[in-house]
Amino acid sequence: MPTPPAGPAPTARAADVTSRALVIGPAEYAPDSGVPRYDEIGVSAVQYGEVLAGNPMWGKDRCRVLMPEEVRTAESVMSALETEARRTGPGDILMVVYIGHGAYWGDVPGAEVHFSVGSSYKDKPWTWLSSWYLYRAMRLCRADLKVLIADCCYSNMLPHLGNGLDSLPGVLDDSGQGTCVLTALKDDNVRAWPLGCEALPGPLAECTPFSGHTLDVLRNGTTDHQPELTLGMLRDAVENEMRRCRFAHDRPRMLLNDAREGRALFTNRMDPARRAPRPDSPVGAEEWAAALLRGSDCDLEELLNDPRKTGDVVALLRTSHREGAAAVARRIDEQASLRFRSPRDFARYWNKAERALRP
Ligand SMILES: [Zn+2]
């Protein structure tokens, strides 16, 4: 009997996992609620469903867009989230997309960003869904990677969780829970512009600008040579597209907490003939740092062959203000500590890397 060839086990393909996407887009509110109704919210939710259904890494069986009656109360949204979270397991991705209104009250216990649901009233915080509950359900699920895409006002405040903590333990911290958050807003902006961007084609012009541009990138893919897109690649492409758009837009922001930013999340729909050729490996430390931040599939072994260059890259990442840079620096530093066992190699590495830690 022939022996099967030795080699690494095949990587899990999309078909082997039960990754789930849940889209929450409450567009209808009571007439006396004081919460404005925007058709863009509902159209965006439907379009996320369409675009994910057409993306081979997802497909329509893995994506659930909540119906208007399912987004009416915090209870119905959380119950749907718990159901979807329970369906995921190790190796899977849980992606939650929220499009709606965000609010932030500094004078409620554990001030957090709150998401609107259909029964929310403008000045009644208890009628909104605290982002803390959403995070908690995501944290408890067994999926390896949990992604929240938030398109609402105050989404830039999502990491500013209450109780004096910068991050919620086990959710947006460093404990390897594999959580990424992509938000419509960067830095000090608190208002997300809700009205559609006329530069976008077809129904995408009726989505909110952030969702419309994100969906446009997902629908068309990017010219990157890779067949699949990471969240970092999506963020960069959306940011570029929104910057180039003839209308002025807020810029998106991404927060992530560990080394899983390199995981593929969507199929790149761009025709392979129109994609850029696979680039050569980065050369200088700056190129390496930029490629690692993009989540490019660079050959780390090549970098780790050079202790000094590895040290330079870690120093650059540690002093970078780019989101996620600190997490990537930690990942390379861990690899370096394992690799550079000889005192000579370690000294070469550390001499460069520790520059970033000097006061
Ligand atoms: Zn635009």
pLDDT, tens only, 286-338 = 999 988 887 776 778 889 999 999 999 999 999 988 877 888 898 899 989 88
Residue 134 in contact with residue 96, Cβ under 8 Å? Answer: yes
pLDDT band at 175; cut points 50, 70, 90:
very low
Average pLDDT of 183-199?
77
Q: Which residue has the higher pLDDT, 3 or 45?
A: 45
Distance CA 326, CA 319 (A): 8
Residue 242 CA, ligand 1 centroid: distance in Å: 6
Give the sign of the dihedral formed by CA 76, CA 77, CA 82, CA 83: positive
Average pLDDT of 112-116?
90
For residue 97, give both structure tokens.
């997309």
Residue 239 CA, ligand 1 centroid: distance in Å: 11
The domain locations on the chain are 14-267, 285-357
Residue 5 CA, ligand 1 centroid: distance in Å: 52
For residue 10, what is the DSSP state? Answer: P
Residue 133 CA, ligand 1 centroid: distance in Å: 32
User: Cβ-count burial of 164 within 10 angstroms (0-12 exposed, 13-18 middle, 19+ buried)?
Assistant: exposed
* The pLDDT value given to residue 163: 37
Digit-coded pLDDT (tens) for 122-168: 999 999 999 888 988 888 888 888 889 999 887 777 764 333 344 44
The separation between CA 145 and the C-alpha centre of its own chain, rounded to angstroms, equals 10
* The pLDDT value given to residue 219: 97
Residue 189 CA, ligand 1 centroid: distance in Å: 17
* The pLDDT value given to residue 355: 83
Residue 212 CA, ligand 1 centroid: distance in Å: 8
Task: Give the sheet arrangement for strand 129-130, strand by strand.
Answer: 102-104, 113-115, 129-130
Residue 151 CA, ligand 1 centroid: distance in Å: 15
* The pLDDT value given to residue 256: 59
Residue 210 CA, ligand 1 centroid: distance in Å: 8
* The pLDDT value given to residue 140: 84
Residue 333 CA, ligand 1 centroid: distance in Å: 39
Distance CA 334, CA 349 (A): 12
Share of the chain above pLDDT 70, in %: 85
Q: Which residue has the higher pLDDT, 13 or 240?
A: 240
* The pLDDT value given to residue 66: 98
Residue 250 CA, ligand 1 centroid: distance in Å: 10
Residue 208 CA, ligand 1 centroid: distance in Å: 9
Kindly tell me the number of DSSP H helices and DSSP E strands found in the chain.
10, 11
Q: Which residue has the higher pLDDT, 194 or 315?
A: 315
Distance CA 157, CA 102 (A): 10
Digit-coded pLDDT (tens) for 68-88: 999 999 999 999 999 999 999
* The pLDDT value given to residue 156: 75
Average pLDDT value over all residues in the chain? 84
Residue 359 CA, ligand 1 centroid: distance in Å: 42
Q: Report which secondary-structure segment, H or E, holds 103.
A: strand 102-104
* The pLDDT value given to residue 7: 41
CATH class of 14-267: alpha beta
CA distances to 214, 224, 225, 270 from 276, rounded to whole Å, are 20, 6, 5, 10
Average pLDDT of 257-277?
79
Residue 146 in contact with residue 139, Cβ under 8 Å? Answer: yes
Residue 39: φ, ψ to 5°: -60, -30
